[in-house]
Structure 1
Amino acid sequence: MPTAEKEATVAELTDILKRAKGLYLTDFTGLDVPSFTLLRKQLREESVSYLVIKNRLAKLAVKQAGVEGLDDVFRGPTGLVCADGDPVAPARVLTKFAEETDGKPAIKAGYIDGEVFIADQIERLAEIPSRDVLLGQMVSAIQSPISGLAFTLNGILQKLVGTLQAVAEKRKEEGGE
């Protein structure tokens, strides 16, 4: 690859890395083409891209993007997984996929919000529900006590109305006699 082409590749990757909300590095050794294609499809469904680039060029792009702490990870075959949306979505997809394919691809490290995560931490991150699920759970938790209060108040009002109607009927009967 000529130098100008390498510079363009590094510049493009740097731009991708600057926009990415999450970055994961994987070792794709032993992953066959059909499995690799399936993995990329599953990642695309989560607005995530899987890039394979020479380690030397990837290191330059990572450095230019301001990502620190990953220099030691660029050894052997390395795939870059870049998340534009939910930064934890790739962790969920990669972890689930690795469970189904005998640990391939192996997660080397991750980088989210300026923090470097090792493989064990990424597996724990994968267990966290998505942002939308967490928001739904939070709304339910807030809504539940409010609904309970509304039902309680409604029950009290119905009893009050029933009592007032009974009193009114009783007075009507007493007054009619």
Structure 2
Amino acid sequence: MSAHTKKYIIRDYTQRLEGLDDALVISIRGVNAIDNNAMRNALAEKQIKVTVVRNNLARHAFKESLLGNASPLLKGPSAFAYGGQSVVDVARELIKWAEKLEHLELKGAVLDGQIFEGKAGVEKLSKMPTREEALSQAVTLILSPGGKLVSQLKGPGSTLASILKSIEEKLEKGETIAKSA
């Protein structure tokens, strides 16, 4: 391959994956074309893209970005899977596909510069909360003490109200109320 062609490919990788800090590295070697297309179409519906890369050229293209940390994962045929709501969603989807397609290899992932190696690393990543899930958990934790305080404040008041209500009902029926000692 000529130097001019290599520069063009590096520029294409850089432009296509510009601003991308998180991705999965997979190998689709051995996956037949029909299954590969079905997987890519299903992933595309969830805004997940798969880009096959030449390892050496990808290393050059991403050496200045957080994806440069993926260099150890770039051995043999490689592709980057990225997009969706978050890299956690991408990991969850590709784990489902890896169960269906025996030749789909999950090489690892990069999340904010941190490497998750192999299938075990991708599974670990898939169990992490997405950004939205983490925000939801944080809001729940923040609001939880306030909710407990309100219920504690309401508790004695509602008890007193129910006692007064029963006294009122007895008086309306003409019953007498016994004094407590």
Shorter-normalised TM-score: what interval?
A: 0.7 to 0.9
In the alignment, structure 1 segments of 5+ residues that lack a partner are none
- Cα pair 1:22 1:110 within 8 Å, conserved: yes
- Cα pair 1:17 1:23 within 8 Å, conserved: no
- How far apart are residue 133 of structure 1 and its match? 4.7
Structure 1 segment 143-158 matched on structure 2, within 5 A: 146=147, 149=151, 152=155, 155-156=158-159, 158=161
- How far apart are residue 72 of structure 1 and its match? 3.1
CA distance in 1, matches of 2:43, 2:156: 49
Residue identity (%): 22
Structure 1 segment 1-177 matched on structure 2, within 5 A: 3-4=3-4, 6-83=6-83, 85-102=85-102, 104-119=103-118, 120-133=120-133, 135=135, 146=147, 149=151, 152=155, 155-156=158-159, 158-163=161-166, 165-166=168-169, 169=172
- How far apart are residue 105 of structure 1 and its match? 1.4
Describe the shift of the 1:135–1:168 C-alpha distance in structure 2 as closer, same or farther (beyond 3 A).
farther
CA distance in 1, matches of 2:113, 2:82: 14
CA distance in 1, matches of 2:29, 2:13: 22
- How far apart are residue 111 of structure 1 and its match? 0.7
CA distance in 1, matches of 2:64, 2:147: 50
Aligned length: 172
Describe the shift of the 1:159–1:173 C-alpha distance in structure 2 as closer, same or farther (beyond 3 A).
closer
- Cα pair 1:21 1:84 within 8 Å, conserved: no
- How far apart are residue 84 of structure 1 and its match? 5.6
- Cα pair 1:21 1:83 within 8 Å, conserved: no
**TM-score, length of structure 2 as denominator length:** 0.72
- How far apart are residue 143 of structure 1 and its match? 6.0
In the alignment, structure 2 segments of 5+ residues that lack a partner are 177-181
- How far apart are residue 152 of structure 1 and its match? 4.4
